[in-house]
Amino acid sequence: MSEILQNLEPLPKSANPDARTPSLRVAFWTLGCRLNQVDTEGIKVAMARQMPIDVVDWQEAADVYILNSCTVTSKADQECRRLARQVKRRHPTARVVVAGCYAQTQPEALAGVQEIDGVIGNTAKENVATWLPQLLAAEAPLMAVEAFEKDVVFDSPVVESFSGRSRAFVKIQDGCDLRCTYCLIWQARGPGRSRPVDDTMEQLARLVDAGFPETILSGVHLGGYGRDLEPRTSLPELLDRCLDRFPELRIRLSSIHPNEVTPELLQLFAEKRNLRPHLHISLQSGSSTVLKRMRRPYRSDRAWQAIQDAAAAAPAFGIGADIIVGFPGETDAEFEETRRMVAELPFSYLHVFRFSPRPGTVAATLEGAVHPETISRRGAILRELAAAKQHEFAEAMIGAKHEVVVESASDRAGWREATTDNYVSVLVPGRDLEAGTVVSVRIAGFQDGRLETSMAGD
């Protein structure tokens, strides 16, 4: 991968950063994680500061279409190429740009796609003033992909809006130093680095002023927050400051590793009213031997303890997890360890993924490939268990009061989609409720497979 990056022509350093273009119609599409959502908003901020633009819907006619890509799985890669080809067929004279993680890690794959006019890596995607004028003038596809510097620091613009969203994401950490054997993200996003505390506070203050009732603190390796800062700090220390400074802002965490579910973190869940009682655990497997081959920084006994401790931190605590099935060499006995963990622990939902060999990872070279039919069977077993767990967790909430954030209109007349504090999807009565409204509801029960609520009094 490093040779490929070195052979690609970077952006000319002499490009005029003050270049201006006429007002452009620009459309955006984001694939993948919450960090990508933040990064897309960052690109919009950078563009708006540097040139006049009109942001339009992806389905509308535009001068430039920017697709912020994901490369966690081969399916994400395929979806990126499909979207690029699709929009180019609809608007053949427009410029189509693929930015982000897929562009950073596999630029050669994208450079060969005829419908793509620009490939912009993570190191360059917010440097719009340099690459956009070149993109518009170029006759050949523009390539702007450079390797991350070892001493790269956190850099993300302050944003004040999230298009069409009722809650805001705040990127407080980027990159990763763990290098798990199945993962490309350390290549896609570079070394681990943290957002300074004061900058984080400024970002949160802007979102509070903009009226967002809830925010999600996000990162590639969220639990590694603060290790690179001076003075050194930690996620629980930052979180404590955020919760105290913004007592009316509901704060939720994105994905975290089991070994980072510490007593200090759990104490905050027990004490702070505005910390949402929910964690998403980046688990991947319930087998210690599989975790070792994945090069994960914990074993199954630590994961068991973390999930049990989290469930006891607050009533109806929501716990989700990611699990990979079919990792190279996964035996029936190893899968059974994962199945038993799912069956016995109080998960409220699961995301189950098929192992996807990524070029440039250690796991792609490992022997012992699991047969596709076996992977499908194991995935089906876990998904069936997960569905039962999800229903059981939701059923236990019936009769209880929960705070919810209204999300969007429902396909059921007279109702709105909403998400509870412990991250359960429900329906709330009242079609006139605006997205982002926070209301207290009582969980009424299931109707046609959906969890309905009624407005709760004080």
CA 398 vs CA 273, 402, 458: distances in Å: 21, 10, 18
Instruction: Report which of 324, 345, 328, 441 is spatially closest to residue 393, judged by C-alpha positions.
Output: 345
Quick one: 225 and 286 in the same domain?
Answer: yes
The confidence band for 51, taking pLDDT boundaries of 50, 70 and 90, is confident
Question: Within a domain: residue 154?
Answer: no
Q: Is residue 150 part of a domain?
A: no
Percent of the chain with pLDDT over 90: 74
How are beta strands 401-409 and 349-354 bridged, if at all? unpaired
273 occurs within a structural domain: yes
- One-letter amino acid identity for 397? M
| pLDDT at residue number 457 | 66
Which residue, among 4, 360, 364, has the nearest Cα to 186 in the 3D structure? Answer: 360
DSSP assignment string, 222-254: GGGTTTTSSS---HHHHHHHHHHH-TTSEEEE-
What DSSP string describes 82-102? Answer: HHHHHHHHH-TTSEEEEEEHH
The strand pair at 415-420 and 401-409 is best described as antiparallel
Looking at residue 100, its pLDDT comes to 94
d(CA 379, CA 376): 5
User: What pLDDT is stored for residue 346 in this prediction?
Assistant: 97
How many separate domains does the chain show? 3
* 163 occurs within a structural domain: no
Which range, 40-54, 101-115, 382-396, 425-439, is most confident? 382-396
Cα 182 to chain centroid, rounded: 18
The residue among 396, 416, 431 that closes a domain is 396
pTM: 0.89
Average confidence (pLDDT) over 396-418: 93
Q: Final residue of a domain: which of 396, 417, 435? A: 396
Is residue 417 located within the same domain as residue 369?
A: no
d(CA 314, CA 383) in angstroms, rounded, equals 26
Q: Which of 347, 373, 396 is the last residue of a domain?
A: 396
Question: Is 206 found in the same domain as 114?
Answer: no
pLDDT digits (tens, 9 = 90+) for 110-128: 988 999 999 999 988 888 8
Clarify whether residues 272 and 127 are in a common domain.
no
For the segment 188-196, the average pLDDT, to the nearest whole number, is: 95
CATH number of the structural domain spanning residue 329? 3.80.30.20
Tally of CB atoms within 10 A around 85: 15
Please check whether residue 377 lies inside any domain of the structure: yes
Q: Is 132 found in the same domain as 182?
A: no
Both 385 and 417 in one domain: the answer is no
Whether 268 and 345 share a structural domain = yes
CA atoms of 369 and 348, how far apart (whole Å): 30
Same domain, 228 and 268: yes
**Domain encompassing residue 424:** 401-455
Q: Are strands 64-69 and 214-218 parallel, antiparallel or unpaired?
A: unpaired
| 56 & 75 share domain | yes
| pLDDT greater than 80 at residue 18 | no
Same domain, 390 and 409: no
Does 203 map to a domain? Answer: yes
In tens, the pLDDT along 434-454 reads 888 999 999 999 998 999 999
Specify the pairing of strand 425-429 against strand 415-420: antiparallel
Which CATH number goes with the domain that contains 415?
Answer: 2.40.50
Using alpha carbons, select from 112, 117, 115 the residue that is nearest to residue 90: 115
| pLDDT tens by residue, 225-251 | 999 999 999 999 999 999 999 999 999
The residues, ordered by sequence, that sit 6+ positions from 414 with a Cβ below 8 Å of its Cβ are: 429, 430, 431
Is pLDDT above 60 for 317? Answer: yes
Query: Do residue 207 and residue 331 come from a single domain?
Result: yes
- What mean pLDDT is reported for the chain? 91
**How large is the average pLDDT for residues 374-395?**
97
CA-based nearest residue to 427, from 435, 440, 212, 412: 412
- Specify the higher pLDDT residue, 457 or 204: 204
**What CATH number is given to the structural domain containing 56?**
3.40.50.2300
For 69-125, the pLDDT digits (tens) are 999 888 899 999 999 999 999 999 999 999 999 999 999 889 889 999 999 999 888
Q: Is the pLDDT of residue 9 over 80?
A: no
Residue 48 lies in a domain: yes
**161 domain residue, yes or no:** no
437 and 293 within one domain:
no
Report whether pLDDT(1) > 60.
Answer: no
